[in-house]
Amino acid sequence: MAKLLEVNNLHTRFKVRNGYLHAVNGVSFSLDKGEMLGVVGESGCGKSVSMMSLIRLLPPAAQITEGEVLLDGEDITHASVSRVNAIRGSKVGMIFQDPMTSLNPFMKIGDQLIEGIVYHKKITKADALQQAAKYLKMVGISNAEHRLNEYPHQLSGGMRQRVMIAMALLNEPSLVIADEPTTALDVTIQAQIVELVKSLREKLNMSIIWITHDLSLLAGMVDRIMVMYGGYVVEEAVLDDIYKSPLHPYTIGLLKSIPSLKTEAGSRLPSIPGAPPNLFSQPTGCPFAPRCTYRVDRCQSEVPALTAVPGETGERPHRVACWVDMRGKGVKQ
Amino acid sequence: MSTRAQQKPLVVVENLVKHFPVKIGAFGGKSAVVHAIDGVSFEIYQGETLGLVGESGCGKSTTGFALLQLHKATSGSVKFDGVDLAQLPTKQLRAMRKRVQIVFQDPYSTLNPRMTIGEALAEPMRVHKICEEKEIQHRVAQLIRDVGLNPNVANRYPHEFSGGQRQRICIARALASNPEFIVCDEPISALDVSIQAQIINLLMDIQEKYNLTYLFIAHDLAVVRHISDRVAVMYLGKIMEIASKDDLFGHPMHPYTQALLSAVPEADPDLERSRQRIILQGDVSNAIDPPAGCRFHPRCAYATEICSQSIPELSDQGGGHRVACLRLAEIEKETA
């Protein structure tokens, strides 16, 4: 399949009072047209910052120090501000976590929805509103024409997130970055949104990057998963390889520590000792080494590179950054 | 049911109601009432963990707060060890407080930033006169060890700790007055995924060590299944189903419980591919103007006219499995 996005060795850091906070430390990955990639990790692992770095949607203190971003063959790493503005919202759509704070409370739903399309395309307001109503219907909002004249507080959380999704799709982007779009929602509403995104993806044939901290959520929706820890990509593979033969001790630990509706209840959960890393100092070795039970001497002195090994299912290689050969050790019981 | 739980109710909640008066409208000119909990009854047995689940706004935290008298209930009773806490004068209630404690959701906002960990743990011991002044330091060290930290942290301040460590400290503080009963109000929701399992294990360890009874409030069903003996499912201020963990997760009877369980994602791609999900339509109704009849009927696939007219009561389906649904028998026939 044709590549839509290619990212090489991306580094992003934040200037803070006493130096730098290293949020993203050399992230490389690619995304095919029509593919859905899940990016998973804990808070502060760099999952949001790395994806927002792609379209430079970062606070002023952030600096992208290294790396290359190719979108549809175009190098946008050093693109001008006006070029990036033309890409944001048209070629790349965004859905954010909190639909309450991402919508302007003083603007009617309709006016917010068409802001992007009017900016990017030569279109009259009436035509744009018609287009907006069509997309509101597509995301399952009934009485769409009427909703265009309402304000965000008149909608429930699930409906607001549907509005955010409609807004992201209105310019028919080839890539949608969804940053924890269901984290603020209840589980039954989350199920509605997940089904909606799955059906829209088939209908519109777009690529999606879905950022989340919830590994279970991804199992039913994405093609491939990238696991991040301490600003590094530690593992990346197709869906089944991640769940059935994980190769990084962090992924293995996470999968084992999630209670599920199927595991034996009441027993002790296998937990990962320690706490997530401090990003102010860059580790000399593997970022996960202090918490890793498989640690060897080399882990503390050298950062392991993301290396491809043959995958268990399909053609795609399984990439993992670990000095220890974990094959066969993480298989699910 | 676990062997831990003996058949003696420690907490009996009867017909608990909590309404919050609010001002609505653009200028707050209109008064209205939020029906946070509307007639909730259940009991918690000595030594067991009762899980309380539901979506945001269903009244599960309000139930925990009203149980501890942190909210004054509108009506109904909360009997703890036979004494109705709601009727107790302030002085006697304060004496009862050492027996009932709480662990809150957010360990960042519930520790005083100007108190050292040692001071925070010593305060409840002094207030409730748990032990002699000279024993306090020894007991503080013991509590810190119990929650898996090093006793030398007693002289440090909350900002020096990570979220998981702070939640350990909050658990130690809840233990400081030697309670019998602890309300855990979403104790792991604010923590990182890799830390959650550590805290679940800790809560289970100290329950065994101190023979504690828990009300475990959470929205994560898998976590609740893991830690609870019995589980109650709430929706819009009412309990829809209450049963032993095995019955509730093995044979959910209420249409809402079924949909809730079906919405939980599982970390297993094969299972997810073959799964038939029940997708609920619409959103949770407004607690200011709850629907007549069964609270769940606007979203229920099985609802008929009767569901919008009469309010279902919890009825025992055998073995303490209680369900509040008017069409239960018909639904069972339809789905069989």
A positions 184-243 inside 8 Å of B (CB): 186-192, 194-195, 213-217, 219-221, 239-240, 243
A273 contact residues in B (CB cutoff 8 A): 198
DSSP state for residue B238 in the 8-state scheme = E
Q: Is the pLDDT of residue A3 over 70?
A: yes
Nearest chain B CA: its distance from A259 CA (Å): 6
Q: What is the pLDDT of residues B142-194, one digit of tens each?
A: 999 999 999 999 999 999 998 899 999 999 999 999 999 999 999 998 888 88
Q: What is the ipTM of this complex?
A: 0.84
Q: Are A256 and A73 in contact (CB under 8 A)?
A: no
Chain A CB contacts of B270 below 8 Å: 240
Interfacial B residues in 251-290 facing A (CB < 8 Å): 259-273, 275, 277, 279-280, 283-284
Report the pLDDT value the prediction gives residue A277, as an integer from 0 to 100. Answer: 87
| pLDDT at site B6 | 55
pLDDT of residue B38: 94
- Judge whether A21 is closer than 8 Å to chain B, CB to CB: no
- Which residues of chain A have a CB within 8 Å of the CB of B268? 219, 243, 260, 262
Give me the pLDDT at residue B216, please: 97
Query: Minimal Cα–Cα distance from B27 to chain A, Å?
Result: 15
CA–CA separation, B235 and B215 (whole Å): 17
In chain B the domains, ranked by start, together with CATH numbers, are: 9-99+179-253 (3.40.50.300)
* Cβ separation B195–A43 shorter than 8 A: no
**Residue to substitute from A258, A312, A331, interface B, most B β-carbons within 10 A:** A258
Pairing of strands A92-95, A175-179: parallel
Quick check: B201 and A262 CB within 8 A?
no
Counted across chains A and B, CB pairs separated by less than 8 A come out at: 137
Question: pLDDT value at position A184?
Answer: 79
Mean pLDDT (whole number) for A153-157: 86
Task: Measure CA A70 to chain center.
Answer: 17
Q: Do A266 and B56 touch (CB under 8 A)?
A: no
Which residues between 69 and 128 in chain A have a beta carbon less than 8 angstroms from any beta carbon of chain B?
A: none
Mean of the per-residue pLDDT values for chain A? 91
Residue A207 has pLDDT above 60, yes or no: yes
CB contact (8 A) between residue A259 and residue B55: no
Q: What is the pLDDT of residues A276-300, one digit of tens each?
A: 888 888 888 999 999 999 999 999 9
- How many angstroms separate the CA of residue B334 from the nearest CA in chain A? 23
A287: closest CA of chain B, how far (Å): 15
Determine the residue of chain B that is closest to A264 in CA distance. Answer: B226
Comparing alpha-carbon positions, the chain A residue that sits nearest to B193 is A42
| pLDDT band per the 50, 70, 90 thresholds, residue A44 | confident
**B196:A257 CB<8 A:** yes
Q: Does residue A143 carry a pLDDT above 80?
A: yes
Q: Which of residues 245-264 of A touch B (CB under 8 A)?
A: 250, 253-255, 257-263
Interchain pair B249, A261: CB under 8 A: yes
Nearest to B267 among A194, A253, A255 (CB): A255
Q: Does B219 touch chain A (CB under 8 A)?
A: yes
Indicate the residue of B200, B245, B275 with minimum beta-carbon distance to A269.
Answer: B200
Q: What is the pLDDT of residue A330?
A: 67
Would you tell me which residues 266-305 of chain A have a C-beta closer than 8 angstroms to some C-beta of chain B?
Answer: 266, 268-273, 275-276
Say whether pLDDT at A168 is over 70.
yes
Chain B contacts of A220, Cβ < 8 Å? 265-266, 269, 272-273, 275
Residue A106 has pLDDT above 90, yes or no: yes
- Give every residue of chain B whose pLDDT is below 50, as ranges: 1-5
Residue, of A313 and A160, whose pLDDT is higher: A160
Chain A residues in contact with B267 by the CB 8 A cut-off are 215-216, 219, 243, 255, 258, 260
CB contact under 8 A, A259 and B194: no
Which pLDDT value is given to residue A333? 43
Length of chain B: 336
- Per-residue three-class SS string for chain A: CCEEEEEEEEEEEEEECCEEEEEEEEEEEEEECCCEEEEECCCCCCHHHHHHHHCCCCCCCEEEEEEEEEECCEECCCCCHHHHHHHECCCEEEECCCHHHHCCCCCCHHHHHHHHHHHHCCCCHHHHHHHHHHHHHHCCCCCHHHHCCCCHHHCCHHHHHHHHHHHHHCCCCCEEEEECCCCCCCHHHHHHHHHHHHHHHHHHCCEEEEEECCHHHHCCCCCEEEEEECCEEEEEEEHHHHHHCCCCHHHHHHHHHCCCCCCCCCCCCCCCCCCCCCCCCCCCCCCCHHHCCCCCHHHHHCCCCCEEECCCCCCCCEEECCCCCCCCCCCCC
Higher-confidence residue of A107 and B28: namely A107
